[in-house]
Structure 1
């Protein structure tokens, strides 16, 4: 690999602005879009396609994907991450802080459909506080966790949230060094939110 290959682009190309004068559909392409959108009027179809393009263009990152060995801040990855894992992490924060963390992670995700944030952490059947590890922890329930992502962190309807609450022995999730310090009562009561947030 040459030295040039390992260096970040100093002057990444500037995306060209959208220009509706370049809109041209061949007959077979027009037939395809009409059959899939249900829009048969040519002007209405053009308006629909340009609107979708504008939304996608606005959401796309304006920087090139950086080489990981050059990244010194997560801001360099904004809009470029297709899968982000956050495990045993959110329950360390208050309700307000969990929302703030979610809002900080969301911009890192690629705008492309299928991009996903996923993970697990301690949860409850009903959201609220629990005493564990000698600390007071705020825990979401499946319903409030889904509502936080779909409608607050992300615009309503732009993501799919899959979440379930399940019981697991802590030793399946945490190292013996950690689980050995958890009282039996706390270990028995521990429940986990297992979740994913996927762009549509």
Structure 2
């Protein structure tokens, strides 16, 4: 999937398996709509890596690191991208998948539990950009990250932990013109969100409730400090293996971004 955002044939260069994966992640089934969605969202996020000196991208719950690799292929400096996950196993397999090595593609990785205070202890904010390959703690990035990517991640936790996660990530962002974006299982209304919870997901959100998570009474931001976009797309259970639904055949994917003004 390595191609430029200016190359409008990007979608037609991905494999059938990659297309299936992206459709499952986004809930978009139309080929042209998928292509447009990917280019639009990536253009906003990846432009920061080209226009802002020393812009840092953090990929939370990175798995194989494929999203970070796509950002890098679109122009985000490799040396300014950091992947994190609970374990390094999938990330290592990512090198095998993309036929790279830590030497030929030195993408930084930090292993740990995002909720472990030893992993995210908030260091004093500094303007000095740390070496991402030599971090002792993610908290060293406090107030320095331009882009945080968190897809298929929030819905792994209960509501209380998701609120805590929002605060953890918010403190890492630059004070202005920085963004957190991602996607996860969601629902169009609070009622359907309640009906969708079950064996797989303890707490999912409607777009309205998701915005409240960030700017509500217990949120990390004030309403005037951020611009939040959140919407849902329907999909079939066959498109995302193991997803749960409302019981009426409707399934939804929540796509969102939180832009710090």
Coordinate RMSD, CA, aligned: 2.7
Which of 158, 172, 181 is 1:118 aligned to? 181
TM-score, with length taken from structure 2: 0.45
> What's the CA shift for 1:97?
1.3
> What's the CA shift for 1:85?
0.5
Asked if 1:106 corresponds to 2:170, the answer is yes
Whether the aligned pair in 1 keeps the contact of 2:149 and 2:181 (CA below 8 Å) is yes
Q: Structure 2 regions of 5+ residues with no counterpart? A: 1-123
The higher radius of gyration belongs to 1
Structure-2 change in CA distance of 1:83 and 1:167 (3 Å): same
Aligned to 1:190: 251
Which of 208, 211, 216 is 1:146 aligned to? 211
Whether the aligned pair in 1 keeps the contact of 2:182 and 2:257 (CA below 8 Å) is yes
Structure-2 change in CA distance of 1:187 and 1:156 (3 Å): same
Whether the aligned pair in 2 keeps the contact of 1:102 and 1:149 (CA below 8 Å) is yes
TM-score, with length taken from structure 1: 0.58
> What's the CA shift for 1:183?
7.8
Structure-2 change in CA distance of 1:71 and 1:123 (3 Å): same
Which of 148, 152, 156 is 1:88 aligned to? 152
Structure-2 change in CA distance of 1:142 and 1:70 (3 Å): same
> What's the CA shift for 1:68?
0.9
Q: How far, CA to CA, are the matches of 1:90 and 1:184 in structure 2?
A: 17
Q: How far, CA to CA, are the matches of 2:245 and 2:157 in structure 1?
A: 23
> What's the CA shift for 1:163?
0.7
> What's the CA shift for 1:63?
4.1
Q: How far, CA to CA, are the matches of 1:80 and 1:69 in structure 2?
A: 15
Q: How far, CA to CA, are the matches of 1:162 and 1:182 in structure 2?
A: 23
Whether the aligned pair in 2 keeps the contact of 1:170 and 1:187 (CA below 8 Å) is no
Q: Structure 1 regions of 5+ residues with no counterpart? A: 1-59
DSSP 3-state at the match of 1:191: strand
Alignment of 1:119-138 (within 5 A): 119-127=182-190, 128-129=193-194, 130-132=196-198, 134-138=199-203
Cα distance per residue 1:24-75 (max 9 Å; x no partner): xxxxxxxxxxxxxxxxxxxxxxxxxxxxxxxxxxxx9324110111113210
DSSP 3-state at the match of 1:160: strand
